[in-house]
Amino acid sequence: MRIFKYAILAAALAFSGCDDSAKKAEEAKKAAEASAAAAAAKAKIEAEKARQEAEKAQAAAKAALDAGKTELAKKLGEGLDGVDAKVTALKAKVAKLPKAAKAKADAALKSYEEAKVQVSTLKSQIDAADSNALADLTAKGTAALASATKAFEGLEAVISPSKAPAKAPAKKK
């Protein structure tokens, strides 16, 4: 009977050792699952933060683009309006010019009108522009305004030629 008791005791110890391994494996599995869940939660939080930062950066870029569009539209509008008012005032004087001067004035007016159309065309493209196109429109708009201003100055020079500076009197010896 002693042998039987030892056999039962040995079997119990052997099975209890297996149960201990199974418990350890189950605990390790649960720990790994918990660790994976924590890592996934952390990754989700970091992804959400990155998404929010990207949205903030995108909103800031859009605000900067919108501000650039507004500024360019204002610059082109005010620049053209200022020159246009001056040209309108000079147009009445063109009819009174002699034939040769009138031809020069008409050429200057034509150049001005072309530049004005170019500025107006550029203004109509501002709303649809992205940041790269806006930079291009800004350069083209500045050039078109400069062209309009130059045409105005040419018209003004034809209508009201500046008087040549008087020659300095010769020195007496």
Does residue 69 belong to any structural domain of this protein?
yes
CB proximity list for 86: less than 8 A, separation 6 or greater: 152, 156
The residue segments making up the domain with residue 82 are: 2-159
Does residue 106 belong to any structural domain of this protein?
yes
The alpha carbon of residue 92 and the mean position of all alpha carbons in its chain are separated, in whole angstroms, by: 42
Does residue 11 belong to any structural domain of this protein?
yes
Q: Which of 107, 75, 109 is nearest to 89 (CA)?
A: 109
Position 163 scores a pLDDT of 41
pLDDT tens sequence across 58-108: 999 999 999 999 999 999 889 888 888 888 888 888 888 888 888 888 898
pLDDT tens sequence across 139-162: 999 999 999 999 889 888 888 876
Does residue 86 belong to any structural domain of this protein?
yes
Does residue 171 belong to any structural domain of this protein?
no
Report d(CA 117, CA 80) in Å as an integer.
10
Does residue 164 belong to any structural domain of this protein?
no
Q: What is the pTM of this model?
A: 0.62
Give the position of tokens 């291009």.
136
Does residue 170 belong to any structural domain of this protein?
no
Position 167 scores a pLDDT of 47
Q: How many domains does the chain have?
A: 1
Does residue 35 belong to any structural domain of this protein?
yes
Residue 16 has pLDDT above 80, yes or no: no
